[in-house]
Amino acid sequence: MKNLRRDFLKLSVGICATAAAATIGLLKTGAAWAATWNKEGFESKAAADAQKSLGATTLIDSKDITITAPDIAENGAIVPVAVTSKIPNTQSISIIAEKNPFPLAASFDISAGGEAYISTRLKMGQTSNVRAIVKADGKFYTAIKEVKVTVGGCG
C-alpha cells in the first residue's frame, strides 16, 4: 500500500510541474523553436544554384579553411566531415557535395565570437568534391576536398 501511495504522489508532482511549465510558457506545444532555413538552397539540384542561394556569387580560395574528411570513404551513407575556419568574424559555414542529387548538404550559422568549427556526417552516392563555403564580413571564402566513395574501401 505504501508503494502505491508513494508512486501516486511522485506522478502527481510531475504532472503538476509540467502543467505549470506549460502555463508560464517554458514549454511550447505548437510552434517549434527553429531558425529560418534556406529552402531554395536545400531543394536546388545543381551545385551552382545552391551556391547562388547562399548569396555566394564570387568565391575567394582560402588556406584558412580546413576540411577534415576521409580521402576514401568506405561507406557513402556516413561520411564524417568537419570544417574549421580561421577567418576572423566567420558568420556561417556551408557544405556542398557537388555530385549529390541535392548538393547543399549542411549550413550552420556561427554566433559572433563563437568558434568557427562544425562537424557533421554526409551521405554521398559517389566520388565528389566537398566544398566548404565560409561567409565572413560579407565576403565568401571556399576550400575543396575530394572524397572518393568506394564499395568496401578499395580504391
pLDDT tens per residue across span 125-138: 899 999 999 999 98
154 within domain boundaries:
no
Domain count within the chain: 2
> Could you tell me if 28 and 45 lie in one domain?
no
Which has the closest alpha carbon to 145: 55, 50, 124? 124
Residue 22: domain span: 1-34
Distance CA 108, CA 82 (A): 12
CB 141 within 8 A of CB 134: yes
pLDDT of 73 over the 50 cut: yes
Buried b (16+ CB within 10 A) or exposed e, 66-102: ebebeeebeebeebebebbbebeebbbbbbbbbebee
Q: What is the pLDDT of residues 16-70, one digit of tens each?
A: 556 555 555 555 555 555 667 788 988 999 999 999 999 998 999 999 999 999 9
Domain shared by 130 and 143, yes or no:
yes
Q: Which CATH number goes with the domain that contains 53?
A: 2.60.40.2470
pLDDT digits (tens, 9 = 90+) for 99-108: 999 999 999 9
Q: Is 0.85 surpassed by the pTM of this model? A: no
